[in-house]
Copies of this chain bind each other. A is one copy, B any other.
Amino acid sequence: MPDATVTLPPSETQEVSAPLLVRAARRQQGDGLPVWFMRQAGRSLPEYKRVREGIAMLDSCARPDLVAEITLQPVRRYGVDAAIFYSDIMVPLKAAGVDLDIVPGRGPVVAEPVRDRAGLERLVPAEPGDLGFVDEAVRLLVAELGETPLIGFAGAPFTLASYLVEGGPSRDYARTKALMVGDPELWHDLCARLATMSAHFLRTQVEAGASAVQLFDSWAGSLSAADYTTFAQPHSARVLAGIATVPRIHFGVGTGELLTRMGEAGAEVVGVDWRIPLAEASRRLGPAYAVQGNLDPALLGAPWPVLAERVRDVVRSGAAAPGHVFNLGHGVPPETDPDVLGRVVDLVHEEGPTLRAEARAV
């Protein structure tokens, strides 16, 4: 803590007054521990189901009033330390005219999968005005949120490409990988275009006031480290390079072998799933990165005393990292009891600082 009698230079003054999430990303949180949940907006909340009734997913993403309301709902209910913009990684593609839908219970479905040069040429990045509804929603939100930071987000080129090439969700990404290794030139051109679209989506959110961003490369963990480095990382790096003014979180599932490369792509915070303890993830990443995670969302249905002990384990393990943002290891499952998430937030807020202080003293 700086001595109150000393006049701080502007940058340090800023740090002290920055939101806890931003300080954690900058490895300056002390014992404070911010908490938010991937997919906290939407899905499991009854108030979400009410406002979404009769409105298709992608239509809801295009209505700034609805986006703001849905983004705010979990902040009101849980008192989490950050809002995550309610949208979908496919939104910039939809705005650019790609014929796609988010099918309930299935995910993004693309009418004409992209598998050749002609398919790529149909993919024309949006004009600046095409994401006006995103800009408007973020401005509404930032005004409403006050001190609570808003996290903007986008999909990483590899994960976006997997939906475009497969035409929908996939178990093995066979068409994606066959295209990737079989026609690297087409692959890199496709990912470069997707990087432009994701960067534009992110920049729109940051310029409208988002305090941090998260790049979702949800399915990167299906790649070996060598393939990730060749075919995915350079494109994610281009997206992240355009947003260096705010803390950048980089997340994927099953990425234990990719953590250092995901950090090197240009992030301050690397998201970790539940397969690796945060202390071990931080050991692999080194002192330059904060970590985010990593409670197993499948445990949200466990009896509370057991779940509470798991939450404490995550807090203790995260204390070994130079920065920690508490989160799940993946998104909130649709069937989650919202009261359980509320108890997790309360536990992190009530016990987090003490647990961190104890763990860091050892």
Binding site for B on A (CB under 8 A): 172-178, 181-182, 221-226, 254, 256-257, 274-277, 296-303, 306, 310, 330, 333, 335
Contact A298 B178 (CB under 8 A): yes
Contact B296 A224 (CB under 8 A): yes
In the complex this chain forms, how many copies of it are found? 2
Of B173, B224, B301, which is within 8 A of A277 by CB? B224
Of B177, B226, B256, B299, which is within 8 A of A299 by CB? B177
- The 9 listed contacts between A and B (C-beta, < 8 Å) are A172-B298, A177-B296, A178-B298, A181-B302, A182-B301, A221-B254, A224-B277, A225-B275, A257-B275
Which of A173, A254, A298 has the largest count of B CB atoms less than 10 A from its CB? A298
Q: Which 10 A-B pairs have the closest CB atoms?
A: A178-B301, A174-B298, A177-B298, A178-B302, A182-B302, A172-B298, A182-B303, A181-B302, A181-B306, A254-B254
Contact A276 B306 (CB under 8 A): no
For the complex formed, measure the closest distance between the CB of A345 and the CB atoms of chain B, giving whole angstroms. 20
For the complex formed, measure the closest distance between the CB of A129 and the CB atoms of chain B, giving whole angstroms. 38
Given contacts A178-B301, A226-B277, 4 further A-B contacts (CB under 8 A): A172-B297, A178-B302, A182-B303, A223-B275
Known contacts A306-B182, A333-B174: A224-B298 contact under CB 8 Å: no
Task: Find the B residue at minimum CB distance from A306.
Answer: B181
Contact B224 A301 (CB under 8 A): no
